[in-house]
Amino acid sequence: MKKRVLAGAAVVAGALLLSACASGQTDGASGKGETLNVWIMEGTNPDSDAFFSDVKSEFEKETGAKLKIDFVQWADAHDRFVTSIAGGTTPDVAETGNTWTAEFADAGGLLPISSYVEKSGLEKDLVEGLEKSGSYDGELYGMPWYAGVRGLVYRADVFSELGIEAPKNWDDIVAAGEKIKAAKPDMIPFAVPGNAEMSAYPWVWGAGGEVATEKNGKWTSGLDGEKSREGLSFYTGLATRHQFSSPGATTWKETDVLDNFVQGKVAMAIQGSWTPATMIEKAPDLKGKIAATTIPGKDGGISPSVLGGSHLSIFNTSKKPELAWEFVKLMTTGKFAKEWASQSGYFPGQKSLVEETMKSTDPLVAPFAKQFVEGGSALPVSPRFGAVQAKQTTNAMIQSILSGQQTVEKASTAAADEMQKLLNQK
Amino acid sequence: MTQTTRPTVPARTERVGTIGTPGNAMFASRFRPWLLLAPALLLLAGLLLWPLIRVVLFSLQDYGLREIVSGTSNYIGLDNYAEILGDPTLWTAALPNTVLFAAASVVGTVVFGTLVALLLRSLGGFWRGVLGTVIMVAWAMPAVTGTYVWVWIFDADGGIVNRTLMGLGLMDQPVNWFTNPVTFYAIALLNVVHHGFPFVAVTVLAGLLGVPKEMLEAAEMDGAGPIRRFFSVIVPSLRQVFAIVIILSTIWDFKIFAQVYLMPGGAGSNRQVLNMGVWSYVESFGQNRYGFGAAIAVLLTLFLMAITVVYVRTILKEEKNA
């Protein structure tokens, strides 16, 4: 448990960082007349055009090279990476989702960047969870860029109208749900989506269970453990036993939860730190009516939630690795990293910058920052975990419980078996 | 069977000038058709046959991302096939779902399409035009768009079906139609029939218009009712049209993918609704097991070819007997 929770609070920061920032003197990467090809995922930042035109001119000023940025939809990205690797049309640098980096590194598509990071003196200033998921076989392949975390988002207006406090433990959630169910029969007190694995893991960890652990190179899934089952049965019980969710939610994805929250139908849900901005953008009348808190632990405290995010990776087919690194550094440190994070509602991948965010008092930022530092957790770091996600092992488990096809015991046993098999596959 | 596939060699008497010796002439007349066909055949081979061969080659390998990056091959014989045949997913979900769904949708599409064709034939020119245009819209709608419309209609919380049923007092609580495999595929069936019937209707209508009026009148004079006329006069004269329509529908409905993949739970999270197409996709592109996915695709192709061959043979046999 300890090792999973990020030690971000105890940031060493300071001197190292300053020296890193000062090294803007671009050691030998003069790129006059060169063009760097970059893929960035679309949909993270609602307004990225202005940001990237700033980046372009800054990059040209620093290195003399031009920047060509292609935006790729998250949903198509994995396939596009694979086809571009096969066809030899990879970009120089790409944003890679943090569960993909190890997978592409394992396949031999990425350039190891540990030496660059050390040369720039950044190795001690990376957010731990992102550094871990960007590493493979002791080498760093993905430079931490930004990360997000999920917390409990709720309707502040409904809570204050009914005199409910933000839940601090699991019993509080049930009590709040019952009150909302009684007073607002048209609302979904707590959305339990069946197609959103990231909303399910906090309950497993919060009850003291494990998703999967490695020992001597062999993975064991803990989903069928007693504590995991307790967490899963509490979470699914919110829908099946307490009827806080809706039948439709059985097949909802995380984005469906967001849509319904925006439509004002949902009172409590697990949502990412990047969503409140989107919610208010889509439904301006929700401004001031949304609040967030850390996901409560069973008897208080915090249920850890998954730290999701992105790396910037350099493909090993790139003919200008030095120039590529200059770009990566420009994006992931200092001014641009900070700006990107604050615009998109994510946290920067640089520890010292997260420290600054921690000081925020914004009620829609501070709880997530707390969850990020004290209750941020990583999924099993294995190039094979992408396969588990693609197989929808966890979703299948939750969905079959919610739809009543299987009991928690049966579903978790099947999921644990499948996860173990996939993780241990060569 | 063989007669139909062999290219017809022009009769010798047809041979045309410029040919010197008789031996040369024979050579030329024999190969000329092939020569003329060569560009088309080469194109087809390049576009269709080569990818097919590649898929078969992939299916014999443990082909993953690493192989793509390095460009190496990794043959493992028939292991992929053995794994598929030993996988309970095939027998409990993928195969039964695919076969039953294809059977239901072929029957549904052909029956409904034929009924619409009969209706169209009995209409006057103006209304035939109107109705024809309207059904073309259903055909022109992309599968993805159509699927989302049906998903929306059956949506658990805001869908019109649940609202109506609850408004009529037939249900107290909204039902999620997508979690149960039977209702899931019933919705997919509506979607596929809705999308596929216009083709059948138009094709059958073309055939219907070719059935001589005198024959139908003669049958009517002999006292045959509409049903009798349909089965004893129309169906026999449209046998070939039906053959085409059924074979094409079978092929299309067997490899259905988008319509299932895009429905809630259809992309792999509801294991009871997996079909062959989705299974192959999830294994190839989700698991990066391109070899395994290719093997599923090859099996599906073989299965389809077997069905088509059997079907074509029965049709041809009936033709000979008739």
Residues 6 or more apart in contact with residue B222 via CB below 8 angstroms: none
Q: Residue A22: its pLDDT value, please? A: 38
Mapping DSSP to helix (H, G, I), strand (E, B) and coil, where does residue A272 land? strand
Calpha distance A260→A275 (Å, rounded): 13
B69 vs A85, A402, A403: nearest CB: A85
CB contact under 8 A, B65 and A82: yes
DSSP for A337-380, please give it.
Answer: HHHHHHHHT-EESBHHHHHHHHT---TTTHHHHHHHHHSEE---
pLDDT in tens, B253-299: 998 999 999 999 998 889 999 999 999 998 888 788 899 999 999 99
CB contact under 8 A, A399 and B265: yes
Calpha distance A303→A167 (Å, rounded): 12
- Answer for the pair A267, A158: CB distance below 8 angstroms, yes or no: yes
What's the pLDDT band for A295 if we cut at 50, 70, 90? very high
B322 vs A403, more confident = A403
Residue A23 has pLDDT above 60, yes or no: no
Distances (CA, A) of A225 to A47, A197, A230, A298: 44, 18, 9, 16
Which chain B residues contact residue A392 at CB under 8 A? 267-269
Mutate to test the interface with A, among B58, B67, B69 (most CBs of A within 10 A): B69
pLDDT in tens, B129-154: 999 899 988 889 899 999 999 999 99
Which chain B residues contact residue A265 at CB under 8 A? 157
Which chain B residues contact residue A136 at CB under 8 A? none
Question: How far B156 CA lies from chain A's nearest CA (Å)?
Answer: 5
CB contact under 8 A, B69 and A391: no
CB contact under 8 A, B65 and A195: no
Calpha distance B202→A326 (Å, rounded): 62
Q: What value does the mean pLDDT of chain A take?
A: 87
Q: What value does the mean pLDDT of chain B take?
A: 87
Q: At which residue do the structure tokens 């024979």 appear?
A: B26
**CA B181, A390, A422: angle at the middle one, nearest 5?**
105
What's the pLDDT band for A45 if we cut at 50, 70, 90? low
Calpha distance A307→A247 (Å, rounded): 28
pLDDT in tens, A372-395: 888 888 888 888 888 888 889 999
Amino acid letter, A365: V
What's the pLDDT band for A192 if we cut at 50, 70, 90? very high
ipTM of the complex: 0.78
For the question of whether the overall pTM of this predicted structure is more than 0.80, the answer is yes
Which chain B residues contact residue A103 at CB under 8 A? 65, 288
**Mode of pairing for the β-strands spanning A93-97 and A35-42:** parallel
Size of interface A-B (CB pairs under 8 A): 99
B181 touching chain A per CB within 8 A: no
Q: Residue A1: its pLDDT value, please? A: 40
What's the rounded mean pLDDT across residues B301-316?
85
Describe the crossing of helices A275-282 and A254-262 by its angle, rounded to 10 degrees.
40
Closest chain A residue by Cα to residue B181: A405
Distances (CA, A) of B173 to A268, A269, A399, B165: 21, 22, 19, 10
What's the rounded mean pLDDT across residues A311-316?
94
B204 vs A380, more confident = B204
Which range among A28-42, A190-204, B222-236 has the greatest average pLDDT?
A: A190-204
For the ranges A82-86, B60-64, B78-82, B111-115, which has the lowest average pLDDT?
A82-86
Residue A8 has pLDDT above 60, yes or no: no
Q: Residue A406: its pLDDT value, please? A: 93
> What's phi and psi for A307, nearest 5 deg?
-90, 105
For the ranges A12-16, A127-131, A305-309, B206-210, which has the lowest average pLDDT?
A12-16
Which chain A residues contact residue B286 at CB under 8 A? 387, 390-391
The helix/strand count (H/E) of chain B reads as 18, 0
Question: How far A324 CA lies from chain B's nearest CA (Å)?
Answer: 20
Q: At which residue do the structure tokens 């993905």 appear?
A: A142
pLDDT in tens, A136-169: 888 999 999 998 899 999 999 999 999 999 999 9
pLDDT in tens, A119-139: 998 888 888 778 888 998 889
Residue A30 has pLDDT above 50, yes or no: yes
Distances (CA, A) of B98 to A96, B45, B252, B275, B279: 35, 29, 11, 5, 11
Which chain A residues contact residue B173 at CB under 8 A? 247
Distances (CA, A) of A359 to A276, A355, A365: 19, 7, 10
Residues 6 or more apart in contact with residue B299 via CB below 8 angstroms: B81, B84, B276
Q: Which own/partner contact pairs does B23-26 have at CB distance under 8 Å and 24+ positions apart?
A: none
What's the pLDDT band for B40 if we cut at 50, 70, 90? very high
Mapping DSSP to helix (H, G, I), strand (E, B) and coil, where does residue A227 land? helix
Residue A5 has pLDDT above 80, yes or no: no
Q: Residue A197: its pLDDT value, please? A: 92
Closest chain B residue by Cα to residue A390: B286
CB contact under 8 A, B264 and A251: yes
Calpha distance A133→A150 (Å, rounded): 17
Q: Residue A334: its pLDDT value, please? A: 86
pLDDT in tens, B147-194: 999 999 999 888 999 999 999 988 888 899 999 999 999 999 999 999
